[in-house]
Chain A
């Protein structure tokens, strides 16, 4: 069966520090991968998605970047965090086929101080 791993679960970082969040998927090949951000009590904002290695689509221009160095690995990065980067970051995958929806990781709660 397919599983998605996301870490760390919580993170407190100072303003101006770098960020690297990692997401990996097991049990499937060539998944579509996604990064979402959710502010407290708010909806889900799509940040980046990828349909293949090295292919990244950015939905919202901001202080973040994403990379997909391997088929089942998706990384969210920042060179210098801002206070406004605080939020709940969720990685998700889908097969891109069939009515199966997205499967989300357990998320990373990031607080920038």
Chain B
């Protein structure tokens, strides 16, 4: 079945630095979803991208879907300690969502 890969697996940044996680697929995706999971918590849906080349922003977060719909990125500008957690991209396939392995973000105050 389809699989999405994410890089990097871990990222440590100084507070105020930017952060980007990348999601890649070998096949064309119908859409891509992004989730955030705080340490000890459950995943929380952030956004869904559907259109080729789509860019969406949520405050300091910028989500992008590649032109070929095979990759996506999440960029955080000027990270804060509240951004700590694991960010998952996920592909939808019929009635189910398959999650990537996630990128774990640590922010050093």
Q: List chain A positions with a Cβ less than 8 A from chain B.
A: 32, 34, 36, 41-44, 46, 49, 51, 57, 59, 90, 94, 96, 99-107
A51 touches B95 (CB 8 A): yes
With A43-B101, A43-B102, A46-B96: A90-B48 Cβ-Cβ less than 8 Å: no
A44 touches B43 (CB 8 A): yes
Q: Is there a chain A Cβ closer than 8 Å to B33's Cβ?
A: yes
List residues of B (40-82) whose CB comes within 8 Å of A's CBs: 41-48, 50
Instruction: Supply 12 A–B pairs (Cβ within 8 Å), ascending by A.
Output: A34-B96, A42-B101, A46-B98, A51-B95, A96-B95, A101-B35, A101-B46, A101-B97, A102-B33, A102-B35, A102-B45, A104-B43
Taken together as a complex, chains A and B put the C-alpha atoms of A90 and B45 apart, in Å, by: 14
B47 contacts across to A, CB distance below 8 A: 101
B45 touches A44 (CB 8 A): no
B48 touches A101 (CB 8 A): yes
B45 contacts across to A, CB distance below 8 A: 100-103
Q: Which of A36, A101, A104 has the most CB of B within 10 A?
A: A101
Q: When the two chains form the complex, which single residue of B42, B97, B101 contacts A105, counting CB atoms closer than 8 Å?
A: B42
